[in-house]
Amino acid sequence: MGEKNTIILAAGKGSRMKSKLYKVLHQICGKSMVSHVLSQVTKLNMTQIVTVVGFGAADVEAELGNQTEYVVQDQQLGTGDAVLRAEDLLKDSDGTTLVISGDTPLFTAETLKKLFAYHEDKKATATILTSQAPNPTGYGRIVRNDLGIVEKIVEQKDANSEEKAIHEINTGVYVFDNQQLFKALHQINNQNAQGEYYLTDAIEVLKQQGGTIAAYKMDDFDESMGVNTRVAQAAATKVMQRRINEYHMNNGVTIINPDATYIDDGIEIGKDTIIETGVQLQNGTKIGNDCVIGANSKVSGSIIHDGVTVTSSNIENSEMMENSNIGPNSHLRPGSKIGKNVHIGNFCEVKQAEIGKGTKMGHLTYVGNAKLGKNINIGCGVIFANYDGKHKHETIVGDDTFIGSNANLIAPVKIADHSFIAAGSTITDDVQQYDMAIARTRQTNKTDYYQKLPFNGAE
């Protein structure tokens, strides 16, 4: 087949999205639509990939980086004009060129590979990727003759009532003989309802000149779903979610309720891990083997090692080591590293802190900007007071330390190994090894005080 090229059409503003964000940058399962397209295309070992940008060009280039070359369509003059912008970069190629839209995030590399193979097998000048649509409204229709040969593609706004009744639709994906593509594009006009240069008109030119026009009908219509509205974005997300969840289940992950589990593209999950209802696993997360991610937990940008249990908790940009557990209703904020066999109970918060192996905090504790050693027992309601109103300060706690309930550790402070903090203490000075620190006012009992009150319990 020779060289293979791709042109990604990503110049449309997407006004129907009603958004300040450039259309192709809207996300489906944690990745922009155009990134989904590019990731599938790159699996086919392309010689050149060219992305046509317009509105928001700088944002698209920032998103895709150097994975593709770029050309600009300054005015929105139609798909034919957009493809023509790539001519200077591709004019010397004697191979084939795939044209695909940046707002079609569900196409797979497998389908595109079949399209290329069909094009080659038919020795076609152009091959259209088609599908059977349950509701074809809005799509270009594939008009075939009695022998099944493609006669033309008719856009929705140019179609008559008979053509509108056709359910085989143009997915907007094509493979062309590269040289013939650009020759044809110089011969089309914009005499149509939209006043635009249609790429489909180039196919008509090629047909009239004796070229072979093929059409490969794909099996799964859902793949062809284009996203032009928020409603379509939600529908595409559902399809992608199902695809992602099925991938993980087929690789040994138990997902209790796939319809209510939200896993971003590219997440790694180990075997025999259980994902309960309402879980969100977001970009940059890696889950080990034999974990339990409990109902309504959210994990983003974090590494969860083998055997970890997360119960209805929120974990951001943090790491939990083997056999640790957290929750319910606790929060790891960015920069938290939880050691092996650590227990973090309910309503706890950890931020920018390291917690050593075997340490336990049962409930209602805040640990911020701290380094905690091994086998520490932290009572209920302990606060690591790390902020003086202007700067953050660090607390260091040694191994085998006991911190009693309702203690306040005022940073910066160091608590040595094998020391003891009495419940209710406010600690401002360092504590030495084997010391017990008590910092609370001496209790005073006022005799018969209750009886002197305006009320004394009498009716």
Query: In 10 A of CB 452, how many CB atoms?
Result: 8
How crowded is residue 459: how many other Cβ atoms within 10 Å of its Cβ?
2
Which residues, listed in sequence order, are joined to residue 52 by a DSSP beta bridge? Answer: 9, 71
CB 203 within 8 A of CB 153: yes
CA-to-CA distance for 260 and 256, rounded, in angstroms?
9
Per-residue tokens: 261: 């589990």
Strands 96-101 and 141-144: unpaired
Question: Which of 363, 391, 393, 418 is labelled catalytic?
Answer: 363
23 is in an annotated binding site: yes
The Cα 396–Cα 379 span in angstroms is: 17
Tokens matching residue 110: 């497998």
Architecture of domain 329-458: 3 Solenoid (2.160)
Domains of the chain, by residue range, sit at 3-224, 329-458
10 labeled part of a ligand binding site:
yes
Identify the residue with better confidence: 14 or 80: 80
370 among annotated binding-site residues: no
pLDDT average, residue stretch 354-381: 97
User: Is 135 marked as a binding-site residue?
Assistant: no
Q: Could you give the dihedral angle defined by the CA atoms of residues 197, 203, 208 and 210, in that order, rounded to the nearest 10 degrees?
A: 150
Q: What is the pLDDT of residue 118?
A: 95
Q: Which helix (H) or strand (E) holds 384?
A: strand 383-385
Q: 456 pLDDT exceeds 70?
A: no
Give mean pLDDT, residues 342-370. 97
Res. 423: pLDDT tops 80: yes
Q: Backbone phi, then psi, for 202, in 5-degree steps?
A: -65, -35
Establish whether 407 is an annotated binding residue.
no
Provide the pLDDT confidence category of residue 138 given band limits of 50, 70 and 90: confident
SS3 sequence of 211-271 = CCEEEEECCCHHHHCCCCCHHHHHHHHHHHHHHHHHHHHCCCCEECCHHHCEECCCCEECC
To the nearest whole number, what is the mean pLDDT of the chain?
94
pLDDT higher than 80, residue 156: yes
Fold assignment, 3-224:
Spore Coat Polysaccharide Biosynthesis Protein SpsA; Chain A (3.90.550)
10 Å CB burial of residue 51 (0-12, 13-18, 19+) is: buried
* Whether residue 458 has pLDDT greater than 60: no
Question: Is 362 a known ligand-binding residue?
Answer: no
**Is 11 a known ligand-binding residue?**
yes
102 is in an annotated binding site: yes
Percentage, residues of the chain above pLDDT 70:
99
pLDDT score at 150: 87
**C-alpha R_g of the chain:** 31
Residue 330 tokens read as: 């606790």
Q: Looking at per-residue confidence, does 315 or 2 come out higher?
A: 315
Q: Half-sphere exposure of 311 toward its Cβ, with a 13 Å CA cutoff?
A: 12
Q: What is the pTM of this model?
A: 0.90
pLDDT in tens, 279-292: 999 999 999 999 99
- Asked whether this chain's domains 3-224 and 329-458 adopt the same fold, the reply is no
Tell me whether residue 423 is annotated as binding: yes
Structure tokens belonging to residue 53: 């940008």
The answer to whether the CB of 406 falls within 8 A of the CB of 424 is: yes
Question: 140, 143, 127, 199: which is closest to 170 by C-alpha?
Answer: 140
363 is known as an active-site residue: yes
- The C-alpha atoms of residue 452 and residue 455 are separated, in whole angstroms, by 8
What pLDDT score was predicted for residue 316?
A: 98
Mean pLDDT of the 198-225 span = 92
Outline where DSSP puts E strands in 228-287: 254-255, 262-263, 268-269, 274-275, 280-282, 286-287
Beta bridge partners of 371: 354, 396
